[in-house]
Amino acid sequence: MHKNKKITIFSHLLVWIVLFSMPYALTYGQDQEINKVIMHFWIPLGFYAVIFYLNYFVLIDHFLFTKKTIQFIILNAVLIGVFLLLKEQIENNFFQDIAKKRVDGPDKNGPPFKMFIYVQMLSYMAPLLFSIAIKTTKRWVKTEAERKEALNFKLQSELQHLHYQLQPHFFFNSLNNIYSLVDISPDQAKKSIHSLSKLMRYMLYETNLELVPLSKEIDFMRKYIDLMKLRVSDKTVVSYSFPPEETDIKVAPLLFISLIENAFKHGVSASKACEIEINMTRNANTVLFTIENDNYPKKTNDKSGSGIGLQNLEKRLQLLYPNKHSFKSSVINNRFLVHLEIETA
């Protein structure tokens, strides 16, 4: 708003510099007697001000912007005509020497009468056009700001919805995993519940910000991987690598967890040897995250494999990192590969 106010002030200042110099330009080269200065300079300037501000504050809003264009044109034509006649009357009554020269016709110091009237009409059109230009620009800037605000509100609402959607999905999957441990290993199930409470505390209280430190996300992912490793058999090898050093990079929260969930959901078999490889690297302001796992797709009637996590991720990436991310997935030799690259600045 402060910037818009500055633009408005500058626009008005520019208009009045032009209008202030216009009467002088029309009389340039002529004898600058005091009467001529008043007649050709100050009186028109007063009329310009009336035309400009009457349109700026009243006529444009009530007629031009409400699609009453014909009425707007008629009113301004009448207004300009009145001012031309008024200027003529003032000239005839108070500046007889100027009027006499005009009646006598053109002389070597002044333009022909018809040309003079034509130029005068054009000069009275200038404040009208300036007023329309500034008012229209101001309205466009306001409309554009409102559009961006509405778009931003919609974006934030959608992101909030996706965020809230992710939390119960994550909680549901984690409880399913813990449930499978209750009969097999009660002690591990208890440990898993304790670990899950820590993860949920992070999700509930520390991920409501637009950006979080990458180091916190890494710590969250490590704890989740360790939790998931408790329920897989010895035939499943899980390896991961994250940047060890602290970094000032910040990312949107909970972006990578869906990919890790997906790897444990679709990359583990109870009877076959499996391998999950998780890697994250960073370079300047770019974060690269890759996962490779065996591909064991869930059956269509298995609701735990509904894929809501990946759908959620793709939508969030489009909203949070437009033109600043690359997300690819493929199946090669029955291995599911995911590649996610994000530009954080």
DSSP string, 6-74: HHHHHHHHHHHHHHHHHHHHHTTTS---HHHHIIIIIHHHHHHHHHHHHIIIIIIIIIITTT-HHHHHH
Q: CA–CA separation, 226 vs 190, rounded Å?
A: 14
- Domain 183-343: assigned CATH number: 3.30.565.10
How confident is the model at residue 200, as a pLDDT? 79
Q: Is the pLDDT score of 56 beyond 50?
A: yes
Q: CA–CA separation, 193 vs 171, rounded Å?
A: 11
The mean pLDDT value for 79-90 works out to 84
Q: Where in the chain is the domain with CATH 3.30.565.10?
A: 183-343
For the beta carbon of residue 202, count every other beta carbon within 10 angstroms: 18
Is the separation of the CB atoms in 344 and 286 below 8 Å?
yes
pLDDT tens string 152-197 = 666 666 656 556 555 666 777 677 767 767 777 777 778 778 788 8
Identify the helix (H) or strand (E) that includes residue 329. strand 325-332
* Higher per-residue pLDDT: 71 or 312: 71
Is the separation of the CB atoms in 55 and 95 below 8 Å?
no
Q: What is the residue-averaged pLDDT of the chain? A: 78
Q: In 3-state terms, what secondary structure has residue 267?
A: coil
Q: What is the DSSP letter of 183?
A: T
What's phi and psi for 341, nearest 5 deg? -125, 130
In the chain, the percentage of residues whose pLDDT exceeds 70 is 71
Is the separation of the CB atoms in 111 and 119 below 8 Å?
yes
Is the separation of the CB atoms in 222 and 194 below 8 Å?
no
Q: CA–CA separation, 220 vs 258, rounded Å?
A: 12
Q: Is the pLDDT score of 34 beyond 50?
A: no
pLDDT tens string 271-316 = 888 999 999 999 888 999 999 999 887 665 555 444 567 788 888 8
43: confidence class by pLDDT, cuts 50, 70, 90: confident
Lowest mean pLDDT among 138-142, 177-181, 208-212, 312-316: 177-181
